[in-house]
Amino acid sequence: MLIIFDSDTESAALIRRILEDECNVPHQSIQEVIDDPVKLITVINKDKLRLINTVFVEISMKTRYNGIDLAQKIVRINPDIHIVFTTEYGKFYIQQAFLDCYDVYPCAYLVKPINKYFLKRTIEKIRFMDKNRNVIWIKTQRTLISVNENNIIYISIDGHCTAFHLSNQVYRSYTTIEDVIPSLPKSFVRCHKSYIINSSHIVSYDPTSITLAENIVIPISRAYRPIIKEQLELITMFSKNSSSGSSSPPAQNKAKM
């Protein structure tokens, strides 16, 4: 999800329009436009599931904190949030933004009026960065959500939806499971036409099923058995080789497959 922090309603509306029309960001993914720094920090603090992915911060806001101070507060709460600075005073703030923020690494610095090309490039950069830091994007009916791959236990077909199962949440997407597969890392293994498991959550397995964390049992279909056997053996071998430096026991093979 995304927040725009800006007192300039026209500029905020332009950013929103470009995000929706040119960058394929769903309307519901833009949580809100905020012009109060206290409210912004409150919203970030309440985001316990860390659904907020990006904040556009106007540097020259005439508030208690300028945008740079605010960005530092944001990343102290959630260091994974992408910061995009915006301002109409480009030359004045650019050195301060990049040299004085020791703990903030902004994704971009956009000068107003916001240029459509540079905003699109910024979103492309954010998506590329997320892809390379183990983030999976889930497109639900109402919004676009970024989830750390390690938090996904398994994926299943649920009626006309694809369901992403986390320990405390289930996200449903109208994207088909076939379309989801190419975007998944190698740690995700398909064991059934209706199930994909995250191998990092495997507790044990046998010829017909896989037991995941929280005692979740997923079936292995006959069609996928030869493929899953090879993949799970590789995973088990790797786990044994690295278990000396890990507190987690390797997955146990209960029987020959």
> What's the pLDDT score for residue 137?
83
Query: CB count, 10 Å around CB of 126?
Result: 20
Q: Please give the residue range of the domain that contains residue 52.
A: 2-131
Same domain, 119 and 7: yes
> Residues 228, 154: one domain?
yes
Closest CA to 59 of 11, 23, 120: 11
Cβ-based neighbours of 80, under 8 Å, separated by 6 or more: 50, 53, 133
Residue 59 shares a structural domain with residue 160? no
Domain boundary residue among 131, 157, 175?
Answer: 131
- Going residue by residue through the chain (257 aa), what tens digit of pLDDT does each one get? 899 999 888 999 999 999 999 998 877 678 778 888 999 999 888 876 567 889 999 987 776 777 888 998 998 898 889 999 998 876 666 666 566 666 778 888 999 999 999 999 999 999 888 766 677 888 888 788 888 888 899 999 999 999 999 988 999 998 999 999 888 877 788 999 999 999 888 888 888 999 998 899 999 999 988 888 777 765 554 444 444 444 444 566 665 55
* Residue in this structure with the two tokens 């020791």, named with its chain if needed: 102
Torsion 110-112-115-120 (CA) sign: positive
Non-local (6+) Cβ contacts of 223 within 8 A are 193
How many domains is the chain built from? 2
Last residue of a domain, one of 131, 156, 179: 131
- Please tell me the pTM assigned to this model: 0.56
> Is residue 147 located within the same domain as residue 107?
no
Q: Per the omega criterion (within 30 degrees of 0), is the bond before 113 cis? A: yes
Report the alpha-carbon distance of residue 30 to residue 63 in Å, rounded. Answer: 23
Indicate whether 201 and 92 sit together in one domain: no
| Cross-strand bridge partners of residue 171 | 164
Separation between Cα atoms, residue 207 and residue 193, nearest integer Å: 16
Same domain, 155 and 196: yes
Beta strand spans in 206-254 (E): 209-212, 216-219, 252-253
d(CA 220, CA 216): 13
Quickly list DSSP for 29-46: GEEEEE--HHHHHHHHHH
Cβ atoms 173, 164 nearer than 8 A: yes
Bridge partner list, 108: 84
Q: What is the pLDDT of residue 197?
A: 94
Last residue in a domain, options 97, 131, 165 = 131
> Do 24 and 112 share a structural domain?
yes
Specify the 3-state DSSP secondary structure of 124: helix
Looking up residue 55, the CATH number of its domain turns out to be 3.40.50.2300
